[in-house]
Amino acid sequence: MTISNEKSVLPGKVSPGAVRRGTQIRLTGVTKDYGLALPAVNNVSLTIEPGEFMTFLGPSGSGKTTTLNLIAGFDTLSKGTIALNGTDVGTLPPHKRNLGMLFQNYALFPHMTVAQNVGYPLRERKMAKTDIARRVSDVLDLVRLPGRDENYPAQLSGGQQQRVALARAIVFQPEALLLDEPLGALDRNLRGTLQEEIRRIHREVGSTFVFVTHDQDEAMNLSDRIALFNNGCIEQVGTPEQLYRAPETLFTAKFLGDSNVFDLGDAGFGTQAGWEDRTWSVDSRTVASHAGVLSHAAIVVRPEDLMVTRDPSSVPAGANTVSASVADLEYMGSYRTALLHLGRSKLRGRARIDASDSLLNVGDSITAWWKPERQRIVSA
Ligand code: ADP
Ligand code: MG
C-alpha cells in the first residue's frame, strides 16, 4: 500500500479540504475481448483528470460497464493499460485500487443497520471504533441521512437506501468513486433530487467521479465531461456543451438532444452544400474535423436554431432556407415544438417556437430557415 492509501484511512471529517482532491485515471489502448464478434471495449484511450466528474454515456451494450469494471479491477484487461495517478494498476486486485463503487441495486447488507453498513469498509480497514463512529456520523450528514443509524435497509425507501450505499462508497475516502447507473432504479422525481445531491457531494468531497448512464439528460446535468460510447469505442469526449454544439458525428448529434438531419450523401460539399433542390451556404467553422469533403456527411440543425415563418420575405439575407409544412404542434410549457415536414421528401423535423406564437397552425405551408453558423456538418 502506498502512503496516500494509508492516509485515506486516517480519521477526519468528511468535508471540503479534508479529502484528497482525487486521482487521475488514465486508460491507454484499453481493450476487453470476450471472444464475441466485436470486443466489448475496443482500444479506448482516455485521461480522467483529478477531481473531474466524467460520465460514460452510451446505448445499452456499448461497453460502459465493462470499462468501469476494468478500472475497478473486477475484470481483466485483454490489452492496454490503466494507471491511477501515473501508477499502472493493471494487475492490482480491486481492494488495492482503493476505489469506491456504487451500483444500481443498492447491494446493502440486509442484516446490518445503516451505521453498520456504512462502517463496514472502515472495519475492513481496521479503523478504531470511536473513529468509525465519528466518520459514519459525518458521512451520513454529508448524504443528508442523519438519525437513521439504527434502521435496517428494509425500513428505508429506495432513495434512502441509495444514500446509504453512497455513504458506504465514500466513507473510506477512496481515490475515486465509480458509479454504474446508480439512479436507474429510482423514479423520475427522485432521480432529479439525487442528481443534485451527487453533484453537491462531488463538489464537497472533490474526488474524481466516473458515472455511467444511458440517459443523455442525466449526463448533461451532471458532468464536467462526457465520454460517449458506441460499440466499445469512444465516439467523442467533451463538455456537455461541446458534444451538443459541436458533434463530430451523426451518432453524437443524435444521441445528445434533438436535431434536424439533412443527409448530404457522399456528394461532398465545398463553400456550398446541396440538398434536394436547395443550395445552402457552408460556414467552414461548422464543419466537424472528420467530415471529409468526399465522405458521407449530414447537416444537423438543432430545433432551437430552426426558425419558421409564413412570410418568406421576412427571412434575413444569408440564411439557409427550406420549404416546410406544419404537421403538428406540441405544447411544452415555456415553449412549443412545431413538428415539420421539410422539403419535397417531407423529411421529419422540428422547430422550437414561442409558446405565445398563435399564428402558426397545423397544415400551414411555411419557410424554415437558419443561419449557416448555427448548422453543423458531421460525418454520417
Ligand atoms: P453497457 O454497460 O454499455 O450496457 P457492457 O459493458 O455491459 O455494456 O457490455 C458490452 C458488451 O460486452 C455487450 O455486448 C455485452 O453483451 C458484452 N459482455 C459484457 N460482459 C460480458 C461477459 N462477462 N461475457 C461476455 N460478454 C460480455
Ligand atoms: Mg452497463
Q: Which of 175, 214, 203, 11 is nearest to 96 (CA)?
A: 175
- Specify if 247 maps to a domain: no
Closest ligand 1 atom, CA of 41? 10
In-domain check, residue 202: yes
Residue 89 pLDDT greater than 70, yes or no: yes
Does 211 map to a domain?
yes
242, 277, 308 - which closes a domain? 242
Do 125 and 230 share a domain, yes or no?
yes
Residues with CB under 5 A from ligand 2 (ion): 65
Question: Could you identify the atom of ligand 1 that is nearest to the CA of residue 58?
Answer: 3
Q: What percent of the chain has pLDDT over 70?
A: 94
Return all residues near 277 (Cβ < 8 A) that are at least 6 apart: 343, 344
The CB of 98 under 6 Å from ligand 1? The reply is no
Structural domain contains residue 229: yes
**Is the domain of 182 the same as that of 35?**
yes
Shared-domain flag, residues 211 and 179: yes
Distance CA 166, CA 171 (A): 8
Domain count, the chain: 2
Question: Which helix (H) or strand (E) segment is 234 a member of?
Answer: strand 233-238
182, 213, 242: which is the final residue of a domain? 242
Domain final residue pick, 242, 272, 291? 242
Ligand 1 centre to CA of 208 (Å) is 24
Same domain, 218 and 77: yes
How far is ligand 1, taken at its centre, from the CA of residue 230, in Å? 12
Sheet containing 79-84, strands listed edge to edge, beginning at the edge strand earlier in sequence:
41-48, 25-32, 79-84, 87-88
Residue 270 shares a structural domain with residue 215? no
Does residue 284 fall inside a structural domain? yes
pLDDT digits (tens, 9 = 90+) for 329-359: 998 888 899 999 999 999 999 999 987 777 7
Q: Which residue lies with its CA nearest to atom 20 of ligand 1?
A: 66
What is the residue range of 276's domain? Answer: 257-379
Give the tens place of pLDDT for each residue, 231-273.
Answer: 999 999 999 999 999 999 999 999 999 999 999 988 888 899 9
Domain-embedded: residue 14: no
> Hey, whose CA ends up nearest to atom 16 of ligand 1?
61
- Answer whether residue 63 is part of any domain: yes
Q: What is the domain-level CATH number for residue 288?
A: 2.40.50.140
Shared domain for 264 and 203, answered yes or no, is no
Rounded to the nearest 5 degrees, what angle is found at the Cα of 140, between the Cα atoms of 135 and 141?
A: 100
Give the pLDDT score at 118. 97
CATH number of the domain at 189, please.
3.40.50.300
* Same domain as 319, residue 186: no
- Tell me whether residue 251 is in a domain: no
pLDDT in tens, 115-166: 999 999 999 999 999 999 999 999 999 999 988 999 999 999 999 999 999 9
Considering the domain architecture, whether residues 334 and 191 belong to the same structural domain is answered as no
Residues 229 and 109 in one domain: yes
* pLDDT over 80 at 19, yes or no: no
Whether 99 and 196 share a structural domain: yes
Same domain, 302 and 268: yes
Kindly state the percentage of the chain with pLDDT values over 90. Answer: 81
Q: Tell me: do 206 and 278 sit in the same domain.
A: no
Q: What is the pLDDT of residues 52-78, one digit of tens each?
A: 999 999 999 999 999 999 999 999 999
